[in-house]
Each structure stands twice: as structure tokens, then as C-alpha cells.
Amino acid sequence: MIKLTLNVNGVERMVLADPESTLAQYLREGLGLTSVKVGCGTGQCGSCSVIVDGKVVRSCSRKMGKMDDGASVTTVEGIGTPQNLHPVQLAWIAHGGAQCGFCSPGFIVSSVALLNENPKPTREDVRDWFQKHRNACRCTGYKPLVDAVMDAAAVLRGDLSREELLFKAPADGRIWGTKYPRPTAVAKVTGTLDYGADLALKMPEGTLRCALVQAEVSHAKILSIDTSEAEKMPGVFKVVTHKDVRGKNRITGLITFPSNKGDGWDRPILCDEKVFQYGDAIAIVCADTEANAKAAAAKVRVQLEQLPEYMSAPAAMADDAMQIHPGTPNIYFVQKIAKGEDTAPIFAKAPVVVEDDFYVGRQPHMPIEPDTGFAFLDEEGRLHIHSKSIGLHLHLYMIAPGLGIEPEKVIMVQNPAGGTFGYKFSPTMEALVGAACLATGRPVSLNYSWFQQQTYTGKRSPFFINLRLAADKDGKLLAMESDWSVDHGPYSEFGDLLTLRGAQFIGAGYDIPAIRGEGRTVCTNHAWGSAFRAYGSPQSEFASEVLMDELAEKLGMDPLELRYKNVYRKGATTPTGQDPEVYSLPEVLDTLRPRYEAARKQAAAASTAAVKRGVGISVGVYGCGLDGPDSSEADAELNADGTVTVFSCWEDHGQGADAGCLGTAHEALRPLGLAPEKIRLVMNDTNLAPNSGPAGGSRSQVVTGRAVAAACQALVEGLRKPGGGFRSYDEVVAAKLPLKYRGKWTAPGTACDDNAQGSPFVCYMYGIFMAEVAVELATGKTTVEKMTLVSDIGKINNRLVVDGQNYGGLAQGIGLALSEDYEDIKKHSTMVGAGFPYIKQIPDDMELLYVETPRPEGPFGASGVGELPLTCPHAAIINAIHNACGVRITRLPALPEKVLAGLKAKA
């Protein structure tokens, strides 16, 4: 134990601490300053940044024994408050810098330290600073953060007023289509919004802290689990194993296609007979402190019989491979596509045919906030589970049978979430904390380390694709043949749906009259496949967009002109035979054309003998919704003070559900003349809000947006007086009329048949990406110098949210193209090891252009946005590399050594 004095946010504190504990622990647990977030825990993400004696310090790795007596420490709580925001915080709100918001306090602290040192930085100064201090963001693409620092610096210098940063409503009061700040923005920039680990710290005395016992092999038979030594460890209350789970001890995929050879009950809550992947949970130690729980977890003895590990689809498909789940073949689902006439005769006669093999791998989601959650029983015996879930009602029904509890006895709540990007479409820790709570009868909390985040949670499922295109001599597409294998890891949930996405999106965007193909879902022992932004399209469209460039090369055509000739126009249909709801891709391409032509000229002029520059493009398309008649519900209620409350489970994983819900509700309630601050949101609690469906597949703005609009419109009509005007609350009560209305909307879509033909989505998103890159010939290193996205996502609800989604998606696409991977479990378990893109890997030059074609089925003409920016930017980058230096990469990521090998082979 050491004793020292620290000045924290201007207050002198006597500190008694373990010298090996961290400054982050002291600030969070000792002083309750939970703006200090612990993300990676290893100094690689900067979310824990504080200022110590004027210098930015990552507090998760600063030991208390290394702190100087009398040191001054500043956290974001000492920079500004909700009532008195610092210019950096104001600018962060104005530019939409806080998306999920988890990293915002660390960035803001770091920015203040920069501006104290350099009051007039350049944009490159800001980028260098964030790179040096390892401030990492997964949501924003960094550009809005640099914009914010530049404006904050101007305010501090007196070149810009604070008022100029504040949102100004238009004269008519309408916020639809504006940059109205997110309702959660102030709480995020001041560190007053509590995320899961913050709430867990504030749980009552008697809460048990959990640690997992996890598998350190990828496939094994469990012979025995010995908890006796662990149970003797200090502070241990109980060690929970599969024997303590009351129900089936399985998580069900819930939605399983009829031709799936599995039953969807293949994922254990706690492993009983086998280990199926590295990181699988075998036991949960529940103790008085997290340190005691972790120490005891190390004492649990698990005896295993190692089995062959099938770490890729080809390995698991081999003739001699054993069944990973006995009784279910490793290839457990097959999806065919058959559109138009037979393709074989067309290919036999086609003047031009191109074919290639493609691989898009196991991209990790890499949120800065690791998975976290807690559970407790209320006075009525109902189980409450708080987590980062983006499918509250979905997860409730997926885990209740496994836990052995009736669904109506389970309440799911989403905590403010530090980004998910789709991995929380699958339950991760929900069933674990539920099982621990039921087994102990006590409140429990569980926080993953970042290593556990990487090794336990799902990843993007790799696709192995062979693709052929046939065209006439003028470049008109005649036919396509596809074969794809999906490595979905050991657990089948949503694997059949993902394989269907291959049929829906390979070749999307183009009029291809004849298509034949077959895909299959394969069970392996690598990380289980979970949803990831743009679900299935980054794998599918990468193949068709790179092959389109190969076709253009073979034809001697410009890649943009080839695409322009073939994109959807009236009479064309999607790969599933559906008429697109709008035909805006020609306009989208025309919008890009002058920028494309200028970029090609500039790249040619700027290339040198050492560095070659190139330009590449790709088309991106994605649907909004779950296939077929997707539906959602929301409620709207008039309150006694004249305000309106909207209830929905429009889950938020950083994409801006609060802004989406508010903007949609405000637009629907405009006849009442309500200011946006008069609309209250009650969101993401299954006990309070109806089933809005999961927040995935860019469905929320369309499907839940229509439900929110329907509820609000029903309320407006219910308040309307026959002679004009609207009833007050008292008049409604006096007339005994309803105060609360439910809105429900079901998409008029049809699910795809066995040949993938149907009308699965009523709204789509369309875009074209342009990448400008530089390739160093000596090293093979690729730098993306500019990204441009022209998109049609219908009418825009909130421009800050939409811009932020697009910037962030482009950044993730750059990572997917060049660095991100989760193949080597040990090597790729850290942010740096997995290729996380920091600010200097992302260009400051990103241009967004919009073609706003109103959607007939979208609320007020809106479509979705979240998936679009990650559909296919990586293909544009790969096409740009080829344009620059003649090397074509077909297996991602395009690491420097791959490009260099291509250059040497070419030479």
C-alpha cells in the first residue's frame, strides 16, 4: 500500500492504493469518475486518457506506484459539465463526434491537452497528435473529430463564437433533414452517460463479480470439470457449471430454414460435452470481487481430449473430416440460385468470359468497449438482463428455454453501448449472466477483457467464392455463375440466412438476366460467425466488383462505363428477380463521373518511379430489413404536461437510434407543433416498450421508423377535434379517449424461395465508392489518400447521423481491405495485432455526396444507411491498387507483403 496526494480536477485528494493498481482503477472505483473508460486495458485505444501534469496519459496502464506525489490529474469531468460545456465538447456535438460515445471522453481530454500546447494546430497536427496518443475510434472515421478540434481551436482563439457551433432550427421548426444533435450527445461528451461497466460499478452491495473459465483449444471432448480448488479460494460464492443450468443449456438460433440439416440448438450456454471453439465458456466463477473471481477461475481444472481442429471451410469440408456436431454434417445448409434461363449454353457461346476466385476473411468487429452485462432478480422473481444486445426481444426467446425460465419472466434491457457493429445481433454474455444469477440468486456482473472480446465473440464469416461472368463484345452482361462456401464457425445461428445473402448480393446492382449458383454453410472450429455491418455483402460484392474490373480490362473498357452500361434501369431485376424500388444508380454514377475523370488524370500525373497512384471504383447495394414481411411495433402517449412519450426497442449500437427515433417521431407529430425537446424517448427495455425487432440489416429507420410514424400519426388523429384543432390532455381524459396508441408496420415483401427468387426487401440502399491510393513499389504498402461515396439512401432524416455512418463505414472498409484480420487467434487478439486502423491509416479527405430519391415504403421517403458504407469500399481500394501498379489482390487483406509478392511476380 502506498500513500500520496493527487490533485484531481482541482480537488486535493489523499490516496491510499496498491502500487500495482492502475490510475484508471483509482479514478473509476475510488472516485467514481466513470468518464474514464477502460477499453483495451493495454494502452492501445486511448479511451482511458487523462491529463497528468499537462501530459496525456493512458490511465489503464499507468500504475499508481509510478504516480508522483502532488501530481495534477484532469478527467473530462474537470473540463466541462452539461451546464457549462467546454468548446471542444460543443464542437464534438456540432460535428457528430460522439456516435457510440465510448471513446469521446478520452478524445476530448486528449484534444484539450493538444490545444493547451498548440492553440492553432493544422489538421495534420491534430491527426499526428491522436496517432501519437493512440486515440482510437471505430465509429466516426475520424474526420468529424478533426473537424471538431479545428472549430474548438477557433473558438478558444476568438475566431469563432460558441453560438456559431450551436444547432439552429429552421424557421418552421422542422428537424427532419437537419443536423439536429443526438439526444444523448451532451451526456456522451461530458462522461455522464453510464455504459455497462459503469453501471456495474454502481450496483448494490452483495453483487457478485464473475469471471469465465474458457477453453484454450478449438475442439475437444470434455472429460471432467473439477471446481473443488476454485471453490476454496477467497471470496468465492459459487462456481457455476452446466450442471447448474436449469434448462436445455443451449442457445437456439430461433430462425432456422426448413432445409437446414441442423436443428439450431447447437450452442451450449456452458460447455458440457465438447469445446467447439477457442474461448468457449466452461464455467463461471462468482465471487465478491473481480480479482478474486479471476484468481479462482485459474484454479478450475478441465480435463480435455483434444480433437482435430477444422479452422477453415475447406478443412471442414474434406472427406475425412469428422462431424463437429455429431449427427449434423459439417455442410449443413445449401442455397441455390436460379434466375432466368440456363447459363451453360450462354457461357459456351459468350464472346467474353471472366472467372476468378475470391476470399474475404474473418473481419473482427473491434468495438472499443468490450462486451459487458449484468443480471438480477426483482421482487416478483423476474430475471432482468442488461447488456449490449441489439436484439432484445429476439435474444429473450433465444436464451429463455436454455436457461429454463418462461419468456414472460425475462426482461431484457440495453445499456448504452460502446459500439457493436453487429456482433450483438447474437447473444454473447446474456445467457451467461442469466445462468449465474439464477444459480446464485444474487445480482451478478461480467465484464470481458479485450482479449475475451476478440476470442469469444463472433466475427464476420469468411466466404470462399468462385465467380464467372459472361458478356457480349460491347460489355453487356449476359450471365453469371457462382459458387460460394461460408465458414460460419461452430454455431449455426443465422448461418443459413447469411448464405442466402450470397445469392442476393453477388452481382447486385447489375441487370444480369441469367444466374445459376450454389452456396453452402460450413461448420468449422474457428470463431463463430455473427452479424457484421453489411452482413454478407462485403464478401459477396467484393467478388462481383473486382470481377467487373477484370471484365473491363478484358474488354478494354473503362470500369465506370462498364458499370454504367449494366446498372439497374427500368426493366432490370435484382439477382432475386425483384424489381428495384427506385432506379437511381445511373444518376449516382453520373454524379461521380466528373470526379472520377479528374482523379484518374491526377493519379497519372502524380505517380513517380517509386510511388504509383491509382483510382478504383465499386458499386454497393444492400437491402433494408429482415427478409419478407418484416414487422415492428412502437407506442406513442400523450402526457399530462402536453409532451409526448415514444416507446420503442429501436436498439442503439452507436448508429444513432435516439436521433432516428426522435427525428421520425417529430416529423409525424408536426401537426401538434411540438418542439423536439417535448418528445420523450423510452427505449430498449422489453418491460416498457413493445417489440420493435432487432437493430440489424439497416431495418430500423425503415421498419421501426414506419412503426414509430404510425404510432405518432395515430396519436395525432386521436387528438384531432372534428371541427379543427387538437384536444388537450384534460379534454382527452374527460372524453374518455385513449392517451396511448400502438403503431405497427409490416413490410410488403416476400421471402426468397429455394432458388433465391423473391422480393425480400422493400427498400434498398445504393452507392458508388471511389478510392484513390498510393502504392510504394519498394515495400508494397498501400495508402488510401481519398475516399468518395455517392449514395442514395432516400430522404435523409438526420445529416449528422448519416454522415457519421458513412465516414465510419468507409474507415472500416479501409481496414477490411488493407489490415484487419482474425485468423491467428494469438496474434490477432490485440487491437494492433488485428490491424485496427488508427487515424493515420484513414484519409482526412473523405467526400460524401447524396442523391435523395424518396422511397415509396420508407418513412417520409427514407431508406436505411448503416450497412451501405461497408458493402463494397474495399473492392474500390483493391481495384485502385491494380490501377496503380497492375497487382490484383483477390484474398483480403491486401497486406504489403501480398502486394510486394504481386509486384515481384509481375516483374
Q: How far apart are CA 274 and CA 309, in angstroms?
A: 12
Question: With the C-alpha atoms ordered 397, 400, 405, 409, is the resulting torsion angle positive or negative?
Answer: negative
What would the 3-class secondary structure string for 523-546 be?
CCCCCCECCCCCCCHHHHHHHHHH
Q: Sheet of 846-850: strands edge to edge?
A: 611-623, 764-776, 782-792, 846-850
Under DSSP, the state recorded for 460 is: P
Q: State the Cα–Cα distance between residues 155 and 148, nearest whole angstrom.
A: 11
The enclosing H or E element of 228 equals helix 228-231
Number of helices and strands (H, E) in the chain? 24, 30
- In a 10 Å sphere around its CB, with 0-12 CB exposed, 13-18 middle and 19+ buried, how is residue 306 labelled? exposed
Q: Is 348 exposed, middle or buried (0-12, 13-18, 19+ CB in 10 A)?
A: exposed
The DSSP-derived string for 830-851 is STTTTT---GGGS-S-EEEEE-
Strands (E), 777-867: 782-792, 846-850
C-alpha grid cell, residue 680 = 420523450
Q: Annotated catalytic, 776?
A: no
Tell me which residue of 308, 375, 798 sits closest to 525, measured CA to CA: 308
Per the CB < 8 A criterion, the answer to whether 835 and 734 are in contact is no
Tell me if residue 504 falls in helix, strand or coil.
helix
Q: Which of 550, 772, 820, 867 is catalytic?
A: 867
User: What is the rounded CA–CA span in Å between residue 380 and residue 716?
Assistant: 36
Backbone φ and ψ for 603, nearest 5 degrees, come out as -65, -40
With a CB cutoff of 8 Å and minimum separation 6, the contacts of 784 are: 771, 772, 773, 814, 817, 818, 841, 842, 843, 877
Q: Is the dihedral of CA 415, 417, 423, 429 positive or negative?
A: negative
Helix (H) or strand (E) holding 765: strand 764-776
Residue type, 514: A
Give me the residue label for grid cell 377535434.
721
How many alpha carbons lie under 13 Å from residue 862 in its C-beta half-sphere? Answer: 27
If you search the block for the grid coordinates 446464485, which residue do you land on?
Answer: 440
528 contact partners, CB below 8 Å, separation of at least 6 = 267, 277, 426, 458, 459, 488, 489, 490, 491, 493
Burial 168-184 (b: 16+ CB within 10 A, else e): eeeeeeebbbbbbbbbb
CA terminus-to-terminus distance, the chain = 64
Q: In which residue are the cell numbers 472427406 written?
A: 319
Q: Which residues belong to the active site?
A: 867
